[in-house]
Amino acid sequence: MPELPEVETLRRELAVELTGRRIDSAELFTPKILSGVDDYGLRDVVGATVVGTRRRAKYLIVDLSNSFSMVIHLSLAGQIVVDRPHGARTSGGHPVPAYTATLPHKQTHVILRFDDGTILF
């Protein structure tokens, strides 16, 4: 599990990479990560724009323009990878699979695609 300074560093990087971008599509590969949210799902984030990021302890919170927020916890071996259309990659969390691995990986839970071609795994 990443320590608090690493989570804060990732939050800052996500703020730069995602703020102002609209989510065009969302794919869910691991439905259990949305347990307890029967009335809501990834369909509620499509079309929304990221307005900011924040952190509460080791939880990352991505605030959206439609008053929803996505709460992310990296747990023991989680990672977030953001691929930009020009080839740059931002990543954080546990480095297995390697940050340079081909994505999506068999352990990818969610893919968010943004209006400018940015992809979050």
The helix (run of H) or strand (run of E) holding residue 60 is strand 59-64
**Domain containing 113 — which CATH number?**
3.20.190.10
Percent of the chain with pLDDT over 70: 96
pLDDT value at position 66? 97
Residue type, 106: K
Radius of gyration of the CA atoms of the chain, in A: 13
Q: Would you state the torsion angle of the CA atoms of residues 13, 91, 57, 72, taken in this order, to the nearest 10 degrees?
A: 110
What's the confidence (pLDDT) of residue 42? 85
CA gap 93, 119 in Å, rounded: 17
Mean pLDDT of 100-107: 86
Q: What residue numbers bound the domain in which 28 lies?
A: 4-120
Residue pLDDT, tens place only, 34-59: 766 667 788 899 999 999 999 999 99
Instruction: State the pLDDT at residue 36.
Output: 66
Mean pLDDT calculated for residue range 7-26? 97
Q: Whole-number mean pLDDT of the chain?
A: 91
> Within 13 A of 4's CA, how many CA atoms are on the CB side?
3
Q: Would you state the structure tokens that stand for residue 114, as one six-digit string? A: 């943004």
Q: Summarize the confidence of residues 69-82 as an average pLDDT.
A: 90
Q: Look at the chain and report how many structural domains it folds into.
A: 1
> What is the per-residue pLDDT for 29?
92
pTM of the predicted protein model: 0.91
